[in-house]
Structure formats: structure tokens, C-alpha cells
Structure 1
């Protein structure tokens, strides 16, 4: 019987502030993750949007699945602010989630403040170099 590496989905089962970002990843809860992340009520999940330059509703379905526990979604769009596509804005409006796109750095800082205030916040953070 051959033993191989068992690859599992990246997931931290709790809410934690983001300690650092850059170099293509994030540090939180004494751990690091290379790539983008979703910070949700169910925990921090590794995330791979199909096209970070143009997000679609499928990229953020996990957020919509947890909509009952989220009031605010911060979307870290990378190094610069880009608008969210109309279909995404409408999907979040329909789920009663206020959606705020901004640069990843601004989203990390805002997420940490709202998390410390125990707000119903989530974040979709695209990794930056």
C-alpha cells in the first residue's frame, strides 16, 4: 500500500485577527497561509477565486452560504480598489449583506477593528505581494 500526501482544504476553525499580510499570503493565529483567504463565522478558509481581477458570485458562494451570520463583507481586491461586478452587489444586497470593496490592506485593517468590536463581519482577501 502506497502512502501519499493527503491534501486537505486549508481551514482554521475560528475567528482570528489578521496579524500580517503580503508576500502572497497572510499570518493569523500563529500560522501562515500562502494565497487568498475568506474570513467567515465558520473560520478562516483558503480561497482561490477563478479570476482575482474579476470576481463572480461563484467565487463567493461560501460567503452567501453563511449569510445569516454576516452583516458586513469586506472585499480586499488586491493592491488597489476595484468595483465589484453588479451581479455580486445584487447577490449580497439580496442576502442583506453590506459589501465593501477596498484594497487588501484597508480590508485587513478594517476587518481587525470590526472583529475586535464583535461585529458580524466577514472578509474576502485577495493576497498581495
Structure 2
């Protein structure tokens, strides 16, 4: 019987500020992650939306399961600001989450400030090169 490498879902079980971003990933809690992130009250997860240019409520299923612990969602949309699709804004509003799209850099900085203030914040961060 051969044992191969077990690939697990990327998950850090806690809240941590983002120390750095760029080169297609992020650094936090003295670790690095290649790809996008979803920072929730339950932890930081590797996140790969189906189409980063057209986010949907399905991309935020894990976040919606924790909606009662989140007031503000920062969406780091990459290098440029992109408005959120109306259907996604409506789905978030329906569960009481205010969504604020911005560039990934601005979202990281704002997330760190709100996290330090112990606010009910979550972030969806699309990796940038």
C-alpha cells in the first residue's frame, strides 16, 4: 500500500493580520499562501472563486454560513476596483453584511485596521502579482 501526499483545504484556524501581499499570494501568521484568501471569524481559508471578474453568492458560501458573526465584508478585487454584481450585493445585504469592494492592497490595509479594532470584519482577497 502506497501513501501519497494528502492535499488538504488550506485553512488557518484563527484571525491574523495580513503581513504582506503580492507575487500571487499572501503572508500571515508567519506563513505564506499562494492564491486568494477568504478571511472569516472561523479562520483564514484558501479561496478560489470560479471567476474572479464575476463573483457570485456561490463563491461566498462559506462566508454566508458565518453571516451572523460578520458586519463588514471587504472585497479585494485585485489591482483595480470592480463593483460587485447586483445579485451578490443583494445576497449579502439579505443577511446583514455590508460589502465594500476595493483593490486588494486597500482591502488588506483596511482589514488589518478593523481586525485590530476587534470589529466583525471578513475579507475576500484576490491575489495580485
Pair in the same fold by TM > 0.5: yes
Secondary structure of the residue aligned to 1:33 is strand
Tell me the residue number matched to 1:62: 62
Q: Which runs of structure 2 are paired with 1:27-106 in the superposition (5 Å)? A: 27-106=27-106
- Aligned residue pairs: how many? 129
Specify every segment of 5 or more residues in structure 1 that has no aligned partner in the other structure, as ranges: none
Gaps spanning 5+ residues in structure 2: where?
Answer: none
Q: 1:53: how far off?
A: 0.8
Report how far residue 80 of structure 1 moved: 0.3
Note the aligned Cα RMSD (angstroms): 0.4
**TM-fit CA distance, 1:70:** 0.2
Q: Give 1:58 deviation, angstroms.
A: 0.6
The whole-number CA distance in structure 2 between the counterparts of 1:62 and 1:83 is 21
Q: Distance in 2 between matches of 1:69 and 1:42?
A: 9
1:13 and 2:13 correspond: yes
Cα distance between partner residues in 2 of 1:63 and 1:3: 33
Distance in 2 of aligned mates of 1:68 and 1:127: 26
Deviation at 1:87, TM superposition (A): 0.5
